[in-house]
Amino acid sequence: QVQVQQWGAGLLNPSETLSLTCAAYGPSFSGTYRTWIRQSPGKGLEWIGEINDTGSVNHNPSLKSRVTISMDTSKNQFSLKLSSVTAADTAVYYCRQAWCSAGTCSDSWGQGTLVTVSA
Partner 1 sequence: DIVLTQSPGTLSLSPGERATLSCRASQSLSNNLLAWYQQRPGQAPRLLIHGASMRASGIPDRFSGSGSGTDFSLTISRLEPEDFAVYYCQQYDTSPRTFGQGTKVEIK
Binding residues (CB under 8 A) for partner 1: these are: 37, 44-47, 50, 58-62, 94, 96, 98, 104-107, 109-112
CA distances from 103 to 1, 99, 100 (A): 16, 10, 7
**Minimum distance between the CB of residue 17 and partner 1, rounded to whole angstroms?**
21
Cβ 119 to partner 1, closest distance in Å? 28
Q: Give the side-chain half-sphere CA count within 13 A for 104.
A: 2
DSSP three-state, residue 55: coil
Name the residue nearer to partner 1 (CB basis): 16 or 63. Answer: 63
Q: How far is the CB of 44 from partner 1 (least distance, A)?
A: 5
φ/ψ of 76, rounded to 5, equals 55, 50
Query: Closer to partner 1 at the Cβ: 16 or 112?
Result: 112
Alpha-carbon span 16 to 57, nearest angstrom:
23
* Complex with partner 1: residue 77 or 113, whichever CB lies closer: 113
Between 112 and 116, name the residue whose CB sits nearer to partner 1: 112
Shortest distance in whole angstroms from residue 97 CB to partner 1: 11
Q: Which of 119, 103, 104, 92 is nearest to 6 (CA)?
A: 92
